[in-house]
Amino acid sequence: MNMDIEASRFNMVEQQVRPWDMVDLRVLDALGRVRREDFVAESQRALAFADVALPIGHGEFMMKPVLEGRMLQALAIEAGDSVLEIGTGSGFVTACLATLARDVTSIEIHADLAAVAERRLQRAGIANTRVLAADALTGYAPNRSFDVIAVTGAVHREPELLRSWLAIGGRMFIVRGESPAMDALQVTRLGASEFREDSLFETDLPYLTHASPAKRFVL
């Protein structure tokens, strides 16, 4: 066991994540058990536990650990839940979701990122995930509902189809708005056409493809 890595992992959880009102012990345990260093490029292993968003290609980034933790906590995942993740990215959040839930379907628009994430999940021995290379916002049709939806990139306006994929009682985490002051939201489906929005905190994330605001032209 590399004691420097284990010390860095411990510090990430205890000094970065826990102080941000993190009280869900299952989430803290998942962040401490999933080997974050195995979900970054070899050249970035020294930064695997740092309080930074790491680039993963295509203008996409691996979220800071604290944002990953706060998202996982907001989703209130139970062991029997079925999860849809929009934006697989590095695969780390996928692995954490899989540790907490029954199964995870993860959608990644970039086929190369999807392939790399799938290999990482397999090497980690995580078998309850399914990674699909697809555009979740244009053309993807799951033909089912999910207990939890985790949206790992921002949207300027929330696509209507996302809420239709939530089961009644289901929760969605989504970051919505305009950079640099976006709202992180928990959306709960209360009934067939009834939803509750809870604003959690302000943050700033790169937009999902097809979800950024229209370009403005100033004369």
In a domain, residue 7? The reply is yes
Q: Is position 210 within any domain?
A: no
123 assigned to some structural domain:
yes
User: Which residue in 125, 61, 118 sits closest to 99, CA to CA?
Assistant: 125
Report the candidate in 57, 190, 73 with the shortest Cα–Cα distance to residue 65: 73
> Side chain identity at 191, as an amino acid letter?
G
Task: List, in sequence order, the alpha helices (H) in 150-196.
Answer: 161-164
Q: Which residues, other chains included, contact 218 with Cβ-Cβ below 8 Å and sequence gap of 6+? A: none
Q: Is residue 82 part of a domain?
A: yes
- Decide if 151 is inside a domain: yes
Determine how β-strand 146-155 pairs with β-strand 195-203. unpaired
Q: Which residues pair with 104 in a beta bridge?
A: 83, 129
Domain residues for the domain of 198 are: 3-203
Burial of 151 (0-12, 13-18, 19+ CB in 10 A): buried
What pLDDT does residue 64 have?
A: 96
- How many CB atoms within 10 Å of residue 1? 5
Q: Is residue 190 part of a domain?
A: yes
Q: What CATH number did the domain enclosing 132 receive? A: 3.40.50.150
Count the domains in the chain. Answer: 1
Rg (CA), the chain: 17
**pLDDT, tens digit only, all 219 positions of the chain:** 466 999 999 999 999 999 999 999 999 999 999 999 999 999 999 999 999 999 999 989 999 999 999 999 999 999 999 999 999 999 999 999 999 999 999 999 999 999 999 999 999 999 999 999 999 999 899 989 999 999 999 999 999 899 999 999 999 999 999 999 999 999 999 999 999 999 999 999 999 988 888 776 555
Domain annotation covers residue 16: yes
b/e code 173-204 from CB counts within 10 Å (16+ = b): bbbbbeeeebbbbbbbbeeeeeeeeeebeebe
Other CB atoms within 10 A of residue 150 CB: 27
Q: Give the pLDDT of residue 213.
A: 85
Is residue 217 in some structural domain? no
Compute the distance between CA of residue 36 and CA of residue 62 in angstroms, rounded to an integer.
11
- Helix %, strand %, coil % for the chain, to 5? 30, 30, 40
H/E segment holding residue 114 = helix 111-123
Question: What's the confidence (pLDDT) of residue 217?
Answer: 52
